[in-house]
Amino acid sequence: MVLFFCAIMAVSGLFLSFKLTASELPDLGDSSASILSTEDDYRLGQAFMHSLRQNIDIVEDPGLNSYINSLGYRLLSAANTSSPFNFFIVNEPSINAFAGPGGYIGIHSGLILATKSEGELAAVMAHEIAHVSQRHLARAFQKASSAQIQTFAAILAAILLGSPELGTAMIATATAGSIQQQLNFTRDHEREADRVGIDILANSGFEPDHMSGFFYRLQEAYRYMESNLPELLRTHPVTPSRIADAQNRARQYPQIDEQTSAGFPFIQAKLRSYDKASQARNIKRLEVKQASAQALSIAEQYEYALLLLATGKFKTADKITNKLLDETKESAIYIALKAQIEMATRHPDAAVARLQQALLLFPNQPQLSTLYAQALIDSGQPKIAANQIRTLIQQQQKFILPSYYQLLAKAESAAKRNSNAHVAIANYYYMIGQTRAAIEQLEAALKQPDNTSFQNRRIKAQRDKLKRELLETEHKPTH
């Protein structure tokens, strides 16, 4: 898994490896559009995500996904781009972020935990947005020689065909002997992404010096650890001149009254609670702080309750959660935490009542909606659960997580609507890039005896569409 992820990152590096002066910003007539069209970029992005979902651990938590996309779209509101974007969190402790084709931007959980503020996280995301908005991928095509394009196409074909080993071997061959040249070329794009990213950062209400500040802090922390640099510093080489350029650009902006989300520390708390290897250590850290008469912050209390829930200490987790709710009753994250405890202690009816009320305050909030659906299933109301998930899927559109379809399949199966369950799991398989498995599920759906003629027509149309896609992929040339 790690090897293929490195291969994907190497492809991203190859995308950005051709020389371009910092002043060459694309305009509406940029000829790069004729090299990689918007449609091609979208299709490449879909294939890229399918490959990632099969080979790396992408965080499926609806609350975390909602946060990272909300922050991303706040930044996009200040970016001069009409490209579609999708932001996601990779469950990896390393400090890294990357921009793939089709506007897919991945942020490692380790990077989120390494940032000291939402502004620092926003700075990294703005930088990655700039890579996409400046069409570095298309411009790499434009600058490449025919031989490089062939290699590039072969690598992409390997990914599209789902062959990690082939892709890794091709990348190793393609990059041998040209590492320094690629590094130098990449720095031109990095400076450009810094400049455009700083503009995005400032225009969306964040202090523009977060970008130089974060990179400088990382560089200083790892100054004497060349062999153990964070992946972010390897894929985004930092030099004193680059930091100085970013600082000078940031100084051109007037003082900004920064508006940050109060939820950022809670996002970090939730990510820490997910790391099973360090759950006991983090519980001990918080207990030691408490024992030394240091009051835990609200975010630390939330983290403590999450950790206790994750390790089966439900009674203490419930006590802390009740205290948090007493102080802030209308908090979606506290309500969600309380409902999770109720479900874990086998009180799904209480969770259903709580979440039903909460959704009146926060309609279609992803985390509350998915918990509500699960609670409905647990309380014997799967048909209502299925309707809840369908509504969420319709409302979320481009922010749909594969896990939504897993939950829908569970609800439909519990409701004994087997055809619908097969279709839901087919959508799940398709989202994670397993098109053949998706087709098999649709074939199984067609065999259900209680299908209406309309259902059969709809399922056949979906199956035939996936078959055509699979056929196109399998016959894509590799040279």
Q: Which domains does the chain have, with CATH numbers?
A: 2-251 (no CATH), 264-474 (1.25.40.10)
* 316 vs 11, more confident: 316
Q: How large is the average pLDDT for residues 157-183?
A: 44
Can you give the pLDDT at residue 120?
Answer: 95
* 4 vs 326, more confident: 326
Contact criterion met (CB below 8 Å) for 371 and 350 = no
Can you give the pLDDT at residue 338?
Answer: 98
What pTM was computed for the model?
0.82
Q: Which amino acid is at 374?
A: Q
* 188 vs 412, more confident: 412
* 70 vs 145, more confident: 70
pLDDT interval class at 175 (50, 70, 90): very low
Contact criterion met (CB below 8 Å) for 383 and 412 = no
For the annotated catalytic residues, the residue numbers are 128, 194
Residue 229 has pLDDT above 50, yes or no: yes
| CA atoms lying within 13 Å on the CB side of residue 453 | 0
Percent of the chain at pLDDT > 90 equals 54
Percent of the chain at pLDDT > 70 equals 76
* 422 vs 13, more confident: 422
Phi, psi for 448 (deg, rounded to 5): -70, 130
Residues 6 or more apart from 298 whose CB is under 8 A from it?
Answer: 324, 327
Contact criterion met (CB below 8 Å) for 341 and 308 = no
Residue 31 has pLDDT above 60, yes or no: no
pLDDT averaged over the chain?
81
Strands 86-90 and 104-108: parallel
State how far the Cα of 358 lies from the Cα of 331, in Å rounded to an integer.
9
Q: How large is the average pLDDT for residues 169-181?
A: 44
Q: CA angle at residue 91 from 386 to 388, to 5 degrees?
A: 10
Can you give the pLDDT at residue 139?
Answer: 61
- Lowest-confidence region among 176-180, 232-236, 319-323: 176-180
Ordered strands of the 97-99 beta sheet: 86-90, 104-108, 97-99
Residue 13 has pLDDT above 70, yes or no: no
Residue 131 has pLDDT above 50, yes or no: yes
Residue 268 has pLDDT above 70, yes or no: yes
pLDDT tens digits for 330-357? 999 999 999 999 999 999 999 999 999 9
CA-closest candidate to residue 283, choices 293, 267, 298, 296: 296
Contact criterion met (CB below 8 Å) for 391 and 372 = no
- Lowest-confidence region among 178-192, 199-213, 268-282, 436-450: 178-192
Beta bridge partners of 98: 106
The DSSP code for 84 is: -
Contact criterion met (CB below 8 Å) for 331 and 324 = yes
State how far the Cα of 415 lies from the Cα of 315, in Å rounded to an integer.
33
Can you give the pLDDT at residue 230?
Answer: 63
Q: How large is the average pLDDT for residues 450-473?
A: 93
Q: How large is the average pLDDT for residues 298-307?
A: 97
**223 exposure class (CB count in 10 Å sphere: 0-12, 13-18, 19+):** exposed
Sign for the pseudo-dihedral over CA of 303, 379, 331, 201: positive
Q: How large is the average pLDDT for residues 2-10?
A: 38
* 474 vs 298, more confident: 298
- Lowest-confidence region among 86-90, 131-135, 367-371: 131-135
Q: How large is the average pLDDT for residues 409-419?
A: 97
Q: How large is the average pLDDT for residues 319-331?
A: 96
State how far the Cα of 258 lies from the Cα of 393, in Å rounded to an integer.
33
Can you give the pLDDT at residue 232?
Answer: 63
- Lowest-confidence region among 23-37, 57-71, 129-143, 320-334: 23-37
